[in-house]
Amino acid sequence: MKHSMPYYVSILKKALKDPISKSEALTLFKKIQSYDKLLELFKVAGKVRDDEVGRKIKLMGFIASITPCTVDPPCRYCFRWSNSKLFTSDDVLSDEELEVAVKTLEAKGLKRAELGGGTYLGEEGRKATFHKLTIACKASGKVGIWINNGPSFRPEDVYKLKEIGVEGVACNFETISEEKYRKLRPGLSLEVRKKIVEETDRAGLDIDNTLMIGLGEGWDEQHPYDEWVDFLFYFSKFRNLRIMEIHPFRPIRNSPCQNMPPGSEFETVKAIAIARLIYRRVDISGAQSILGLLAGANLIMHVYPITKSFRAWGRHPLYHSRVEKLHKDLVIVNNLFEVTRNAREMGFEVEL
């Protein structure tokens, strides 16, 4: 007796050659609910990654902070709740420190670096952003500079960023739900972020954005698959989308969201794989982990993070990241070994 092929299998078979549709993405989110089906999804997503962008893992450096945060009230899941020094004047790199940081990453061989900062509202925020980016771009040499402190500037300011020499803009949504955004980020506007992304695309600058799996979910709620699919396909209209980040929500200690459930790792890697079937040549983060590599990721974020000493992170459960002093209170976390080890041992080429 001849059995018909399950619909999700036919979607995966088609996806080997062509991007999946919105309805097909939703079907995969709903139907991939077991480890064996997840492995089927991984096999196709990995093949698409290998065929479309190759088995070379890209790296993104990180420098923070270039601006303080003046959002009031703070976003309800922000790290500011757990550390009162974050995104204050104590956290901001001096001009000299920023120049040292950028030149250090260039010496390490990185091709791109993200400059992180808080949302510094108003005219002072715009001036500070332009000033710091001018210093970074002048010092950058071959390092492409990406900015992630929006909206510390207006949508029309992206043309000024392009003049300064910025390569890309990360103005992260994390959710496409207006209701969740108002509830969890009451001091900011999703609409403003949408306008910045739209103008970034028109200006010809590269776009990076982040989907946060589990953000705003209750303990007994069904996963909002429709919302995640809407998010992924919202960005399909932008010709300059270059990076898609997908992370699980992590409750921050002492924050109003500290008792909310953490995002599902299963759903996160599933989302990475589905994103790969949509975005064939976009760089997708998560390649520091085995699951991310299996799911089709090809980018590792936050390699060699450079920050003030109090902010430095990178302690891995298995490996000891070396924190090295660069200049006064500026340090670099030498995490290259642990973040690239999985990729190297699985036979991938690492960009350095």
> pLDDT tens for residues 21-78?
999 999 999 999 999 999 999 999 999 999 999 999 999 999 999 999 999 999 999 9
Taking alpha carbons only, the member of 192, 148, 152 closest to residue 169 is 148
Q: Is residue 2 part of a domain?
A: no
Q: Is residue 8 part of a domain?
A: no
Q: Is residue 51 part of a domain?
A: yes
Burial of 160 (0-12, 13-18, 19+ CB in 10 A): middle
Instruction: Look up residue 115 and give its two tokens.
Output: 């400059």
Output the pLDDT for position 312.
82
Q: Helix or strand or coil: residue 56?
A: strand
Task: Tally DSSP H helices, then E strands, for the chain.
Answer: 12, 11
Give the number of domains in the chain: 1
Q: Is residue 160 part of a domain?
A: yes
The pLDDT of residue 97 is above 90? yes
Q: Is residue 192 part of a domain?
A: yes
Output the pLDDT for position 4.
81
Contact 155/101 with Cβ under 8 angstroms? no
Q: Is residue 18 part of a domain?
A: no
The pLDDT of residue 2 is above 90? no
Domain that holds residue 60: 23-350
Q: Is residue 80 part of a domain?
A: yes
The domain that holds 126 is classified in CATH as: 3.20.20.70
Q: Is residue 49 part of a domain?
A: yes
